[in-house]
Amino acid sequence: MSRLEQLHKLRQADPDDADVRYMLAQEHAKLGDADAALAAYDECLALDPDYHYAYFHKARVFETEGQTDEAVATLRAGLERAQAAGATKAVNEIAGYLDELT
């Protein structure tokens, strides 16, 4: 059974687990399936809007796909959430990536 199949089984077992959605997104991104990755990041963020690294990696997928404006918008949204949560490390990493793109 592939890692992707294992993650889908985990998602079925616990459909409200944001971590599983994040891992699915990461796996789809690794496999080059941008649409599935973006959808899984969106699902992750719908379950947990403060999953800061989902914003970061969702922006990476957008950047890889040549969608810089979408990447910047995603990073700005993630930065706002991370700042509101006081997540200093996430703020620094998201802000640094945002600086690279703007």
Q: What is the mean pLDDT of each run of 10 residues along the chain (102 residues)?
A: 82 89 96 96 97 97 97 98 96 97 94
pLDDT given at position 73: 98
| pTM listed for this prediction | 0.92
Q: How far apart are CA 83 and CA 66, in angstroms?
A: 27
User: 59, 75 in Cβ contact below 8 A?
Assistant: yes
Give which of 50, 46, 44, 14 is closest to 29, Cα–Cα: 44
Q: How far apart are CA 44 and CA 92, in angstroms?
A: 21
pLDDT given at position 71: 98
100 residue type, one letter: E
- Enumerate the domain spans of the chain: 3-101
> Which residue's entry shows tokens 């399936």?
33
Q: How far apart are CA 78 and CA 53, in angstroms?
A: 8
Percentages helix, strand, coil for the chain (3-state, rounded to 5) are 80, 0, 20
- Return the CATH superfamily for domain 3-101: Tetratricopeptide repeat domain (1.25.40.10)
Cα–chain center distance at 47: 12
